[in-house]
Amino acid sequence: MLLRILRHEWRILLADRTLWAIGALLLATVGYGAWNGVSWVRFQENTLRATAAEEHERLEALKKGIRDANAGRTSPASFSDPRTPAAVGRSLGVRYASMPPGPLAALAIGQSDIYPYYFKVSTSSKTTFLNNDEIEHPVHLMSGRFDLAFVVLYLYPLIILTLSYNLISAEKEQGTLAMTLSQPVSLRTLVAGKIVLRFAFVLAMAVGLALAAMLVGGVRLSAEVAPRLLLWIAVVAAYGAFWFIFAAAVNAAGWNSSTNAMALAGIWLALVLLIPSLLNVAVKSMHPVPSRVELIQAMRAATTETSAAGSRLLARFYEDHPDLADSRTSTSDFAAASLAVQEEVDRRVQPVLAQFDEQLDRQQSMVDRYRFLSPAIVAQATLFDIAGTSSYRYKHFLALTDQFHRAWSANLNPRIVRREKLSPDSIDQLPRFQFQEESSAGVARRVATGLAGLLLPTALIGLLAMKAVQRASIAN
């Protein structure tokens, strides 16, 4: 009987212009979202290739400059001498720390258009390169980019509600429900058939169009991408099932179609827009982060005060680093004094940076704690994790960059104090940044929690909805 219901509903939907309009809307929005995502990933990849090419050319020119200076063909000034560790570590030989696009970044741009994905790491304080921003249009930064995740989170539920707000009420209003139920079929089976058909159609359209757009855009299914893609489909299916079940529950209340539509629109507004907005306001109010102006002012004040006490700081620097004390010639050594000043600036600015990180962690913890109030928040966080565009992956990248900065400084700073001369071979032996993906166990744990956060309320509402459907009146 269920198959007969499915065939009957399919013929009805094919004759309804609404289905064709929804199909065209899905085609347009999914296609544009996929194109936007693929374009952004290509932009990132081209940028990273350009940074790698710039670094290679600069280092080759640096090695040539060292050979020319050693051969006496050039006489560079001391501050720009390619053989000095200070010039190499500060500007001439700096290396990039970069984070490649996530495995499915084309499906969910997330906040990757706000977070920097490469840094030019030098021996200077990390605040000098961590706070450099990509030049971007402010409208994009405020509203985000239109990608497939946006379609899934905001438009996908509306399409589902458009197809399911009158599952029962339409037949009651047309006077066909009692006649249909006079056949050997229950109302629960009838509603289940209607939901299954509509769910299969919407999911097939959303996933099929996304896959087609990915393949056209050049995204290849690899051993790393395929499991994530299956998880992506699972989250989209769970999110869609939630809205279909909610629509069935509202239909079981026995209201007319217009009342059902208004109720479901209100539920969508509350769960997708209102609750996330209120949570965002609450998070920022309860755990505000220090302003960037405060950080800049702290850096300026610390730099001004420490620069005036260069000699005293240099003496303390040698006390803190006794292994370098034998290499000093006088307290007026500019390179060593600069290191001492920089170390003191970092020490004074660290509390502001620590407070910033601490408040961000508290904000994230609060969002994680209350995200289950809205399926949209749960789905968004899970999709970003699967795509590799989450804040967790960016935080992991910052930790790797910090490690690389410490390794870079640890390699060159002692050479600066000892006034060593670098050779072309020593340039090749300087530390290189290697990006390593975050732990797959951590990602799997977050994705599993997100899926559970979608499936459990769906199952609970589904049980209540089916019981309500069983008791629903079939009279007009």
Query: Per-residue pLDDT tens for 154-191?
Result: 999 999 999 899 988 888 888 888 777 777 788 888 88
Residue 140's pLDDT is: 41
With contact defined as beta carbons under 8 Å apart, do 401 and 96 qualify? no
Burial of 218 (0-12, 13-18, 19+ CB in 10 A): exposed
Which residues fall within 8 angstroms of residue 317, CB to CB, at 6 or more apart? 336, 339, 340, 343
Query: What percent of the chain has pLDDT above 70?
Result: 83
List strand residue ranges (DSSP E) for 3-141, in order: 95-98, 118-121
Q: Is 436's pLDDT higher than 80? A: yes
Residue 330's pLDDT is: 43
Average pLDDT over residues 286-309: 69
Here the tokens at position 5 are 């219901």
Q: Is 308's pLDDT higher than 60? A: no
Taking the CA atoms of residue 194, residue 211, residue 232 and residue 437 in that order, the dihedral angle to the nearest 10 degrees is 180
Average pLDDT over residues 14-19: 77
Closest by CA position to 55, among listed 122, 103, 151: 122
Closest by CA position to 194, among listed 208, 206, 180, 183: 180
Segment 262-273, tens digit of pLDDT: 999 999 999 999
Q: Is 324's pLDDT higher than 60? A: no
Instruction: Give the best-scoring range by mean pLDDT among 14-23, 141-150, 421-430.
Output: 421-430
Q: Is 383's pLDDT higher than 70? A: yes
Segment 102-158, tens digit of pLDDT: 888 888 888 777 888 999 999 887 777 665 544 444 434 334 578 889 999 999 999
- Measured CA to CA, the distance from residue 121 to residue 129 in angstroms comes to 7
Residue 240's pLDDT is: 94
Which residues fall within 8 angstroms of residue 343, CB to CB, at 6 or more apart? 313, 317
Instruction: Give the best-scoring range by mean pLDDT among 58-62, 280-284, 365-369.
Output: 58-62
Dihedral of alpha carbons 184, 187, 190, 196, sign: negative
With contact defined as beta carbons under 8 Å apart, do 253 and 469 qualify? no
